[in-house]
């Protein structure tokens, strides 16, 4: 029998996946069509949501993209009943054998089951080789041997800082205490990053299994998953998966007949970016304001409720089962000298083919943006890529041949971060971009360190006046001075990295700052107060539309006559520019 | 006394009804404060003052300290919500794809700014950092529905649709 899989991750659902699923279900029932209707997680090529994968009896796979409920009837009719693929709706999917696809250069470890198995089915995870790693570990290895394997694999923490995972486990293992905890950090706060959400939604058992191995290695019998409350679907699927794993006896007492016990609990975050920081996260689980504290003592010595605690991010833990089953050498064979394995990136922004991609370390930025992402949307020019979220920076297009690994990215002034990759084109103003991130970190600063609390506020004010056309000579130097002080006088990662977006844009796009300050112009035509709107007389047909949409009554002109914008009245809202059907309004 | 009975007794005393905490067995559980606050918000849409007093009794933490926790986290609200909560995503991807313009249109249409509620209690606006649907940007959420790939026109139509759904908001 044929099967239809509907991609129902958050992006699939947002694009209308559930409506497509419901339409398929009712049509199949109504017409009594012999077909298996299944759901799966994120397939990765989010830019084509809603996605269907149809497999026929001969083992052929067909991928349909941009599916709507209206298309359902024809797909069932032609593809399912008559075996006639609808060429114009078919897209290149996960298994398409073609050089120019979103998938050709990818190497999937963390995402290997995403969009393939049903995330709500523990049986499908087991059938794909799941829960083999934990059994192997319990049977064949001591905790120290597990740590050696993880160390040898070269796996680094995928949450941002890139610390060696095996080292972290060893610190926790070596701490002496009657009780230890492990925590899975799923508080994915970087705007522009959604890899952890997709992993949890599409393959939750893989993360649970990684946690089990980690707990074994560290000697913990209680685990927490700290997950953003903004990810309701991930929370729901995690609850369901833990329940199923408990029913099977994989979680609980005497796991797989061994002496190992493990309780896994979910804690929903309450919306604070700083809680991605280890000590703040611990405070939040303890029910307090999520404020970081001084280290040492590190969580590995004194963490949750004062006990040794190991914290790893979702993607880090998701790598573990694969490493255990395939061996450390197989993992270390991928990537560069200092960064092993793969990295998942959330490709978004002005990119033609956005979505979730997993590539071996060492691929260049250009390969990701052009070969995988298909270049820039609407034929515009690639300007920069923002990596690492609010703690990261903007890497200019001229550095497109940069190999992606922890060291190379750090050299640019950005950071690998959790893997957000927001692509910017020529219409993005870099000063505005820096302002955007600063307003985020300023808002999310917990207020403990003076330089973070007040320094980021002052930096934001300077950026605001630059983009408003009130920039002064010396503003750039003032920004640099403040940035250095904030970096050096704060205790947690949020403060120490908050100036990065400003520093990297200053490093690579200083000229843009200078033009804003000196000429009161925005080279990207993005900062509204620095724009001048005027009518292009050759194109104006006198349709009066612009005059009607103008909220300031700044546009005058008779019907069928050329209109005029009164600059003294213009509030630069851009409504006329958007409304004009004849490209008769210029923005400069 | 059993946890739920104790809770019911306290609820009656504090004049609260409908406080659902079926998922969380808070007795003897450390770190119960935030889950309890989340349960209160799930039950009422915001955290009423009476609920703070009640939670204070349950966990033995002074109300003032609980207030400090509430105001620290962006998820918690101390004011009731409108019927429709519009979350405007201002994550990086949405930002570069024009979320500010979308926010501006919604603010113009509803005549409110920032994190406010319309006088008729129909809409509450909230700007959020990232919903995580970056590949569909710009995105907004209205209650549990997500709307992606928005344009100024689409947003205007969407708001019209929601307003039409609710012809007589005062009685709703």
Question: Which chain B residues contact residue A433 at CB under 8 A?
Answer: 96
Measured CA to CA, the distance from residue A108 to residue A117 in angstroms comes to 14
Of the pLDDT bands very low, low, confident and very high (cuts 50, 70, 90), residue A206 is very high
Q: Of chain B residues 72-91, which have a CB less than 8 A from chain A?
A: 72-76, 90-91
Q: Residue A131: CA atoms inside 13 Å, Cβ hemisphere, count?
A: 18
Of the pLDDT bands very low, low, confident and very high (cuts 50, 70, 90), residue A299 is very high
Task: Give the model confidence (pLDDT) of A486-497 as tens digits.
Answer: 999 999 999 999
Beta bridge partners of B125: B86
> The pTM is what?
0.91
Burial of A58 (0-12, 13-18, 19+ CB in 10 A): exposed
Residue B139's nearest CA partner among A584, A348, A198 is A348
B26 alpha-carbon distance from chain centroid: 23
Q: Worst-scoring range by mean pLDDT, A37-41, A498-502, B46-50, B164-168?
A: B164-168
Residue A57's nearest CA partner among A40, A79, A72 is A79
Put simply, the answer to whether A287 touches B38 (Cβ < 8 Å) is: no
| DSSP conformational letter for A81 | I
Rounded mean pLDDT of A263-290? Answer: 94
Measured CA to CA, the distance from residue A227 to residue A251 in angstroms comes to 19
Of the pLDDT bands very low, low, confident and very high (cuts 50, 70, 90), residue A201 is very high
Measured CA to CA, the distance from residue A198 to residue A242 in angstroms comes to 17
Residue A404's nearest CA partner among A149, A49, A158 is A158
Put simply, the answer to whether A348 touches B93 (Cβ < 8 Å) is: yes
What is the reported pLDDT for A98? Answer: 67
Structure ipTM over 0.95, yes or no: no
Q: What is the CA radius of gyration of chain B?
A: 19
Contact indicator for A175, A143 with CB cutoff of 8 Å: no
The H-or-E segment that residue A146 falls in is: helix A143-153
Question: Which chain B residues contact residue A286 at CB under 8 A?
Answer: 30-31
What is the reported pLDDT for A400? Answer: 95
CA angle A430, A432, A438 (to 5 degrees): 105
Closest-CA distance of chain A to residue B161, Å:
17
Question: Which chain B residues contact residue A271 at CB under 8 A?
Answer: 73-76
What is the reported pLDDT for A306? Answer: 96
Question: Which chain A residues contact residue B32 at CB under 8 A?
Answer: 287
Tens digit of pLDDT per residue, chain B (172 long)?
455 666 666 666 666 666 666 444 566 678 889 989 998 898 888 999 988 988 888 888 999 999 999 999 988 999 888 999 999 998 888 898 889 889 999 998 899 987 889 998 899 998 887 777 777 889 998 987 888 889 988 999 999 999 888 765 444 3
What is the reported pLDDT for A155? Answer: 97
What is the reported pLDDT for A111? Answer: 95
Of the pLDDT bands very low, low, confident and very high (cuts 50, 70, 90), residue A43 is confident
Residue A182's nearest CA partner among A214, A207, A142, A226 is A214
Residue A152's nearest CA partner among A170, A140, A138 is A170
What is the reported pLDDT for A277? Answer: 93
Tokens of residue B59, six digits:
């966990």
Phi, psi of A259 (to 5 degrees): -90, 0
Rounded mean pLDDT of A28-41? Answer: 93
- A37 φψ region: left (φ > 0), alpha (ψ -120 to 50), beta (else): beta
Measured CA to CA, the distance from residue A306 to residue A300 in angstroms comes to 10
Strand bridging mode A263-268 / A222-227: parallel
What is the reported pLDDT for B172? Answer: 39
Tokens of residue A29, six digits:
């029932």
Q: Decide which of A276 and B132 is more confident.
A: A276
Tokens of residue A42, six digits:
């994120």
Closest-CA distance of chain B to residue A113, Å:
20
Phi, psi of A329 (to 5 degrees): -65, -40
Contact indicator for A556, A542 with CB cutoff of 8 Å: no
Tokens of residue A494, six digits:
């949020």
What is the reported pLDDT for B58? Answer: 80
Burial call A153-182: b when 16+ CB within 10 Å, e when fewer: bbbbbbbbbbeebbebbbebbebebeebbb
Residue A366 has pLDDT above 80, yes or no: yes
Closest-CA distance of chain B to residue A102, Å:
14
Q: Which residues contact A434 (CB under 8 A, 6 or more apart)?
A: A463, A501, A502, A505, A506
Mean pLDDT of chain A, nearest integer? 93
Strand bridging mode A2-7 / A181-186: unpaired
Residue A347 has pLDDT above 70, yes or no: yes
- Interface contacts A/B by beta carbons within 8 Å: 134
Closest-CA distance of chain B to residue A14, Å:
5
Rounded mean pLDDT of A223-252? Answer: 94
Residue B148's nearest CA partner among B133, B159, B160, B163 is B133
Put simply, the answer to whether A11 touches B73 (Cβ < 8 Å) is: no
Contact indicator for A187, A274 with CB cutoff of 8 Å: no
Give a three-class secondary structure readout of A494-558: HHHHCCHHHHHHHHHHHHHHHHHHHCCCCCCCCCHHHCCEEECCCCCCCCCHHHHHCCCCCEECC
Burial of A333 (0-12, 13-18, 19+ CB in 10 A): middle
């Amino acid at each position: 029998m044929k099967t239809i899989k509907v991609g129902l991750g958050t992006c699939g659902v947002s694009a209308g996946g559930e409506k497509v699923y419901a339409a398929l279900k009712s049509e199949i029932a109504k017409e009594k069509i012999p077909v298996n209707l299944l759901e799966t997680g994120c397939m990765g090529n989010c830019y084509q949501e809603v996605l269907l994968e149809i497999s026929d009896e001969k083992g052929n796979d067909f991928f349909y993209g941009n599916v709507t409920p209206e298309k359902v009837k024809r797909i069932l009719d032609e593809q399912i009943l008559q075996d006639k693929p609808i060429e114009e709706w078919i897209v290149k999917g996960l298994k398409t054998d073609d050089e120019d696809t979103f998938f050709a250069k990818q190497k999937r470890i963390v995402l290997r089951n995403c969009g393939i198995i049903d995330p709500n089915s523990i049986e499908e995870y087991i059938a794909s080789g799941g829960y083999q790693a934990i059994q192997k570990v319990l049977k064949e290895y001591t905790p120290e041997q597990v740590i050696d394997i993880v160390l040898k694999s070269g796996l680094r923490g995928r949450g941002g800082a890139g610390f060696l995972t095996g080292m972290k486990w060893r610190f926790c293992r070596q701490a002496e205490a009657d009780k230890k905890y492990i925590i899975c950090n799923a508080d994915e706060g970087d705007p522009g990053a959604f890899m952890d959400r997709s992993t949890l939604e599409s393959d939750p058992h893989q993360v649970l299994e990684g946690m089990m191995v980690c707990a074994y290695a560290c000697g913990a019998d209680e685990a927490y998953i700290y997950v953003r409350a903004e990810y309701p679907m991930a929370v729901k699927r995690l609850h369901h998966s833990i329940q199923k794993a408990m029913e099977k006896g994989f979680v609980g007492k005497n796991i797989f007949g061994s002496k190992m016990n493990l309780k896994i609990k979910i804690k929903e975050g309450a919306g604070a970016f700083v809680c991605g920081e280890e000590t703040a996260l611990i405070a939040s689980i303890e029910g307090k304001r999520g404020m970081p504290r001084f280290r040492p003592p590190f969580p590995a010595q004194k963490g949750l409720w004062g006990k040794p605690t190991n914290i790893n991010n979702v993607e880090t833990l998701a790598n573990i089962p694969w490493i255990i089953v395939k061996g450390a050498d197989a993992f270390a064979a991928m990537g560069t000298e200092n960064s092993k394995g793969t990295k998942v990136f959330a490709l978004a922004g002005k990119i033609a083919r956005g979505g979730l991609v997993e590539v071996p370390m060492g691929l260049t930025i250009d390969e990701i943006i052009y070969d995988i992402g298909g270049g820039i949307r609407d034929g515009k020019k690639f300007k920069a890529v923002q990596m690492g979220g609010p703690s990261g920076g903007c890497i200019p297009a001229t550095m497109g041949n940069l190999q992606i690994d922890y060291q190379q990215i750090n050299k640019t002034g950005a950071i690998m971060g959790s893997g957000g990759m927001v692509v910017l084109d020529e219409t993005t103003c870099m000063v505005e971009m820096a302002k955007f991130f600063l307003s985020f970190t300023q808002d999310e600063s917990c207020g403990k360190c003076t330089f973070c609390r007040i320094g980021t506020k002052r930096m934001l004010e300077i950026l605001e006046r630059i983009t408003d056309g009130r920039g002064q000579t010396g503003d750039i130097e003032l920004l640099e001075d403040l940035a250095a002080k904030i970096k050096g006088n704060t205790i947690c990662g949020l403060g120490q990295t908050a100036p990065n977006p400003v520093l990297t844009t200053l490093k690579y796009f200083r000229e843009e700052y200078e033009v804003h300050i000196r000429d009161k112009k925005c080279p990207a035509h993005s900062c509204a107060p620095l724009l001048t709107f005027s009518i292009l007389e050759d194109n104006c047909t006198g349709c009066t539309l612009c005059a009607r949409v103008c909220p300031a009554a700044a546009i005058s002109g008779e019907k069928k006559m050329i209109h005029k914008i009164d600059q003294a009245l213009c509030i630069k809202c851009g409504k006329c520019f958007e409304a004009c059907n004849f490209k008769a309004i210029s923005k400069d | 006394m059993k946890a739920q009975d104790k809770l019911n007794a306290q609820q009656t005393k504090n004049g609260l009804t409908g406080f659902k905490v079926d998922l969380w067995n808070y007795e003897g559980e450390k770190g119960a404060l935030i889950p309890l606050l989340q349960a209160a918000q799930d039950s009422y849409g915001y955290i009423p003052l009476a609920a703070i007093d009640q939670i204070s009794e349950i966990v033995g933490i002074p109300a003032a300290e609980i207030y400090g926790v509430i105001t620290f986290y962006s998820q918690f609200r101390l004011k009731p919500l409108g019927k429709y909560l519009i979350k405007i995503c201002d994550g990086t991807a949405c930002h570069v794809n024009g979320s500010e313009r979308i926010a501006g249109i919604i603010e113009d249409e509803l005549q409110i700014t920032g994190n406010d509620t319309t006088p008729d209690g129909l809409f509450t606006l909230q700007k959020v950092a990232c919903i995580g649907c970056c590949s569909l940007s710009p995105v907004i959420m209205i209650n549990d529905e997500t709307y992606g790939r928005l344009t100024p026109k689409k947003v205007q139509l969407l708001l019209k649709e929601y307003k039409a759904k609710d012809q007589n908001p005062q009685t709703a």
